[in-house]
Amino acid sequence: MTDSEFRSGFVCFVGRPNTGKSTLTNALVGEKIAITSSRPQTTRHTIRGIVHRDFAQLILVDTPGLHRPRTLLGQRLNDLVRDTYSEVDVICLCIPGDEKIGPGDRWILDQVRRMAPKTKLVGIVTKIDKVSKDALAAQLVAVSKLLGSEAEVIPVSAVSGEQVELLVKVLAELMEPGPAFYPDGELTDEPEETLMAELIREAALEGLGDELPHSLAVVIEEVREREGRDDMLDVHALLYVERPSQKGIVIGKGGRRLREVGTVARKQIEKLLGTKIYLDLHVKVAKDWQRDPKQLGRLGF
Ligand SMILES: Nc1nc2c(ncn2[C@@H]2O[C@H](COP(=O)(O)OP(=O)(O)OP(=O)(O)O)[C@@H](O)[C@H]2O)c(=O)[nH]1
């Protein structure tokens, strides 16, 4: 560090699917997700995790993927992405050490540059435990060429932990001096219900094709302590789809698929909350919810 001033700010990881963004987030934040419902005025974005060090605090924020803005939802998501890209202090483009730079990487870089020309950019070469020194050197040169000479490029392995702390230092140096935004110990401020809905949505989409993701929304209707028991929660959730045919897909033959989804999601939520839950899932058709501002509001978009 160039001085001893505490620094804090917002970071967002972008990159193609499977480039190691989530694994790196977990490596930076640590395993435990502490949930609180405090939400300071400093951000409207979903926080994935907070990295606390004695010299800095980095707040890792999420962006939804970019969409072709064909629907109102697509437009709102793109607006959200644009806001996030322009409001964070640093955007990190993740590219794996063991894959050639491709059109997907260039497209994302292009979007970032267009949407947020002023935001600082850092290249992260991920999964370096998978490549030889020579291959890594070549990849660093390639990524550096892609991003231009002003951008720093940092190689890391989230799996071995190699260089992860160096990355924290480099990111911290790019932040303005300032106090921590969150008290120590708070790792994410995402409301519990959003996380629960996300886990259910993830389980429901597992193994399905491309069409459904944009048509499925999950709303937590009710969370209640089981009467007479303080170690069990009843969680009622609604899965909204746009068409009756999609309802059939989600539910599966004789309800089998939905039961499986329930089991997977329940285990995840129990891990998250550290308590037993009973998970009740229902599927509803809300025709064209993506195009209807009222329904979008209700579904949290
Ligand atoms: N060997 C190795 N594997 C890694 C590393 N980081 C991630 N992976 C693996 O790469 C795969 C993708 O990692 P993710 O963290 O899910 O990637 P992502 O970019 O978050 O993917 P999306 O959520 O699809 O955007 C997983 O199988 C990880 O286990 C790493 O540092 N080393």
What CATH number does the domain containing 110 carry? 3.40.50.300
Whether 176 has a pLDDT exceeding 70, the answer reads: yes
Q: Residue 211 — pLDDT band, cuts 50, 70, 90?
A: low
Quick one: pLDDT at residue 36?
37
With a 6 Å cutoff on the Cβ, whether 18 touches ligand 1 is: yes
What separation in Å is there between the alpha carbon of 257 and the centre of ligand 1? Answer: 27
Whether 1 has a pLDDT exceeding 60, the answer reads: no
Confirm whether residue 119 is marked as ligand binding.
Answer: no
In this predicted model, what pLDDT tens digit does every residue of 94-115 receive, in sequence order? Answer: 999 999 999 989 988 998 999 8
With a 6 Å cutoff on the Cβ, whether 159 touches ligand 1 is: yes
Confirm whether residue 37 is marked as ligand binding.
Answer: no
Whether 118 has a pLDDT exceeding 60, the answer reads: yes
Name the domain count of the chain: 2
- What CATH number is attached to the domain comprising 293? 3.30.300.20
What is the residue range of 231's domain?
192-298
Q: Please give the backbone phi and psi of residue 33, each rounded to the nearest 5 degrees, phi first.
A: -105, 110
Q: Residue 265 — pLDDT band, cuts 50, 70, 90?
A: very high
Quick one: pLDDT at residue 219?
86
Whether 74 has a pLDDT exceeding 60, the answer reads: yes
Question: In this structure, is residue 182 part of a structural domain?
Answer: no
Quick one: pLDDT at residue 152?
95
**CA gyration radius for the chain?**
21
pLDDT higher for 152 or 300?
Answer: 152
- For every residue of 201-236, DSSP letters joined together read HHHHHTT--SSGGGG-EEEEEEEEEPTT-SSEEEEE
Prediction ipTM score = 0.97
With a 6 Å cutoff on the Cβ, whether 201 touches ligand 1 is: no
- 169 and 198: one domain? no
Specify the 3-state DSSP secondary structure of 197: helix
What separation in Å is there between the alpha carbon of 159 and the centre of ligand 1? Answer: 9
| Mean model confidence pLDDT for the chain | 83
Task: Give me the mean pLDDT over the 104-133 stretch.
Answer: 94
114: left (phi over 0), alpha (psi -120 to 50) or beta: alpha
Whether 37 has a pLDDT exceeding 60, the answer reads: no
Quick one: pLDDT at residue 85?
86
- 27 and 140: one domain? yes
Whether 26 has a pLDDT exceeding 60, the answer reads: yes
